[in-house]
Amino acid sequence: MTLGAVGAPGTLGALVRRRIEIPILAVVGALIVLIGIDTPSIWYDEAATIVSATRTWPELWAMLHTVDAVHGVYYAFMHVWFDIVGYSPFTLRLPSAIISGGTVALTMLLASRFGTRGFALLAGVVLITIPRFTWAGIEGRSYALTALLAAALTLLLMRALRSPVRDSRWSAVWPWLAYAGVALVSVGVFVYLSLVVVAHAVTVLVLTSSGTLSRRQLFAFGRTVVPLGVVCIPFVLIVASQSGQVAWIDPISQRTLTGILITQFAPMNPPFAIFTWLVVLIGIATFIVARRAATTRARAARDLMAWVLPWLVVPTVVLVLTSVLVTPLYSPRYLTFLVPALAIAIAGGIVGLGRLTRRATRLPGAARWPRMRSVPWTALAAISGVLVLALLTQPSYVAQRGAEAKQDASWSKAAWRVSEVAASLPADASPAVVFGSIAYHPAATARVVEYAYPWAFTSLDDVALVEPIGVTDRLWETAEPVDTAMLEGDDTVILVSSGRDREVNEAAIEGAGFTEVDRWHYTNLWVKVYDRTPVPLK
């Protein structure tokens, strides 16, 4: 369980075959994430994935020229996925769950570079308990993929730095090409992943200054990342030109500290965050105590700090400084790619706690309890730490799988109600649907509920729709306010709205001769049914 020498060179496949616990825990992690994956209602960000990935290729390309270029590669991936399996809330989130299992495997491989099999296993288990990790695994967005790519990039850089710097053979060149290629894809998936490369630059500089790496290795890294940065400039400029889409991000304030210390890794779970940071600080304290030692274990601890701390700290610092000096860009969930680093740091802190306890039992004052020296303190610390983390993460895990877990969205409930109403109508009925506002997002309408649950609205006429998604190069459709003329020929109207514009919609519907006959109120959403008022006989 204790930290040991940095792992010897070898292919990842061979390492996995020798360590069967890696694929086993990866599968377990994916299954844990999969539980209840389709229970939470779809919410706004996931609706953006749906309306983007279900466009045709030309329509998606046109949209990316005006909005969401930052997510273009992910949308393309999901487009292919939906072509294969079709869309449903389950298939929307399934890739994230599978990817989460892969992240567990890569995190264990990373941890194995710094310690024993027990240490790698501990890091994998810790990762599964982190609330931000399990949140990303049931999110139809790219967050889980960013964590996987960050771990993959770090492993590839480790492999590249082991390549003979004077050797021009393919075996020495391909690791650098692989690192550059995956970095390029990573920036395309989510531009913030470029900050992982910045963190790697800090790591390489630290290891070079300490003598662990040579100047030739430093120059090899520079020869790889400088052209990479140049190639990425046009894409970054396109993303910057669309920065208005993140205008919702708050400026840096006192709340930012809460975001960094709690929301970034443990949303709405301060006890988990407090315990986590205490353990990480213990790990840092252990490193400080052992920094002058010449043992293999101490060298491994120094390497761990050099790799993990920049990954954990640099992206956050860069985003906060950019938000202060240029424009607000910091959002806690955008830094999901830090969770593998946090898992390894927590594992190091737990091991450090065990080592500090063992040292304490060897102090002169502890001689009266000789049996304490024979206790396996590191293993005991690992078991205790995992149990505490599992206990603290349980409220987050359960809450993440609630029906309204995502921004209080009750869209699934509203869609189910609409489908029930539509199914109860006579076969010759002519029903219309009117979409009002949606909570929290003034640029969109309640049509997002239809995009998320299209089968509930197939028999309804969207009378106010002008340009559906795909026709326009914007993210959402174009519609007009409902008026009485739109409802001619309809005998039933279903209104779906958050209620913000309820009076306008209700006035238009009632002005067309309809009377409300039923209503249901869900969190931030109304479903109302109107029938045409019979014209009295003269």
Do 383 and 340 share a domain, yes or no?
yes
Six token digits for residue 211? 């003598």
User: How many structural domains compose the chain?
Assistant: 2
Please count the other Cβ atoms lying within 10 Å of the Cβ belonging to residue 481. 12
Short-list 115, 113, 109, CA closest to 2: 115
- Amino acid residing at 406: K
What pLDDT is attached to residue 9?
Answer: 45
Q: Where are the alpha helices (DSSP H) in 401-481?
A: 411-424, 447-452
State whether 452 and 508 are in the same domain.
yes
Whole-angstrom distance, CA of residue 190 vs CA of residue 266: 21
Which amino acid, residue 385? Answer: G
Q: Answer whether 428's CB lies under 8 Å from 490's CB.
A: no
Residues whose CB is less than 8 angstroms from the CB of residue 324 and which lie 6 or more positions away in sequence, other chains included: 252
Residue 442 lies in a domain: yes
pLDDT over 60 (residue 22): yes
Within this chain, do residues 307 and 338 fall inside the same structural domain, yes or no?
A: yes
3-state helix, strand, coil in the chain (%, to 5): 65, 10, 30
Residue 53: inside a domain, yes or no? Answer: no
Integer-rounded Cα Rg, in Å, for the chain is 27
Q: What is the mean pLDDT of residues 405-414?
A: 95
| Residue 421 and residue 387 share a domain | no
Cβ proximity of 25 and 104 under 8 Å? yes
Integer Cα distance of 498 and 488 in angstroms: 25
Give the tens place of pLDDT for each residue, 241-284. Answer: 887 777 789 899 999 999 999 999 999 999 999 999 999 998 88
Is the distance from CB of 353 to CB of 279 less than 8 angstroms?
A: yes
CA distance 518 to 528: 6
Q: Which run of H or of E encompasses 290?
A: helix 270-290
Give residue-wise pLDDT tens across range 34-84: 999 999 999 999 999 999 999 999 999 999 999 999 999 999 999 999 999
Q: Of 400, 431, 461, which closes a domain? A: 400
Average pLDDT, the chain: 89
Task: Look up residue 41 and give its amino acid.
Answer: S
8 A C-beta contact, residue 432 and residue 461:
yes
The residue ranking higher by pLDDT, 305 or 166, is 305
Task: Tell whether 436 and 360 lie within a shared domain.
Answer: no
- Gap between the Cα atoms of 7 and 157, Å rounded: 14
Residues 420, 376 within the same domain: no
Domain boundary among 400, 420, 448: 400
Residue 61 lies in a domain: no
Report phi then psi at 43, rounded to 5: -130, -175
- Can you give the pTM of this predicted structure? 0.92
Report the alpha-carbon distance of residue 424 to residue 292 in Å, rounded.
76
DSSP one-letter string for 64-100: HTTS-GGGHHHHHHHHHHHHHH---HHHHHHHHHHHH
Average of pLDDT values for 355-372? 62
Task: Kindly state the tokens that stand for 364.
Answer: 């002169």
* CB of 55 closer than 8 Å to CB of 79: yes
Query: Measured between alpha carbons, how far is 122 from 281 in angstroms, rounded to an integer?
Result: 18
Task: Please give the Cα distance from 26 to 32 (Å, whole number).
Answer: 10
Q: What's the pLDDT band for 368 if we cut at 50, 70, 90?
A: low
Residues 193 and 108 in one domain: yes
- Per-residue model confidence as pLDDT tens digits over 101-130: 999 999 999 999 988 899 999 999 999 999
pLDDT at position 371, please? Answer: 58
The Cα 262–Cα 265 span in angstroms is 6
Domain identity same for 162 and 298: yes
What's the whole-number mean pLDDT along residues 405-432? 94
Find tokens 């006035």 and name the residue: 507
349 pLDDT higher than 60: yes
- Nearest CA to 71 out of 166, 161, 193, 202 is that of 193
* Encoded tokens for 272: 């988990």
Task: Verify that 392 and 460 share a domain, yes or no.
Answer: no
Domain membership of residue 426 as a residue range: 411-532
Question: H or E segment at 201?
Answer: helix 194-209
Please name the amino acid found at residue 450: E
**Phi-psi map region of 63: left, alpha, beta (phi>0 left; psi -120 to 50 alpha):** alpha
Cα–Cα distance between 191 and 124 in angstroms, integer? 26
